[in-house]
Amino acid sequence: MIRLQKVRKQDRDLLFSINQKYLYEMTNFYDDEMDENGNYSYGHFEEYFTDPLREAYFIYSDEILAGFAMICPYTMTGRKPDYTMAEFTIFPSFRRKHLAIDAAKLILSEHKGKWEIKYNEKNEKAKKLWNAIAMPYEPERIYLNEEETVLSFNVR
């Protein structure tokens, strides 16, 4: 069973740690480099603990931490979405068990409104996931550049 747990201020270090692992994985698609401390920059990280419009969730499979999601209302297209999926991952050992689909559907069901979800065209798994999730909502595809696509759709 999938459940979401809102990340609280006291969970900051755990979210930072797992976000770093995710950012490392994203270097397969982006040319991000580590800083002098071995961390990847995430410019808006602290804002998830100060900006009331940003929300982060731990994703649990039963009682085991299986991933996380970070959402906000800030656009990548110049439009005004209610929600943008800033980050989303299911940890490798939980993949291929439909957890990503279940977690994404749960997040959308709890956050109705206009959505933007971006993926990198080279990330075939993310492309497949987000297109499958968005398909029932008849998304508009917005090409930011040759590598990045945004799906824009409304969840009612």
43-59 pLDDT per residue, tens: 899 999 999 999 999 99
Q: Which CATH number describes the domain made up of 2-155?
A: 3.40.630.30
Q: What percent of the chain has pLDDT over 90?
A: 88
User: Could you tell me the residue ranges of all domains in the chain?
Assistant: 2-155
pTM reported for the whole predicted model: 0.93
- Residue 28 is predicted with a pLDDT of 87
- Residue 63 is predicted with a pLDDT of 94
Which long-range CB contacts under 8 A does 126-133 form with residues at least 24 apart? 129/100, 129/101, 129/104, 130/104, 132/101, 133/101, 133/104, 133/105, 133/108
Cβ atoms of 62 and 9 within 8 Å: the answer is no
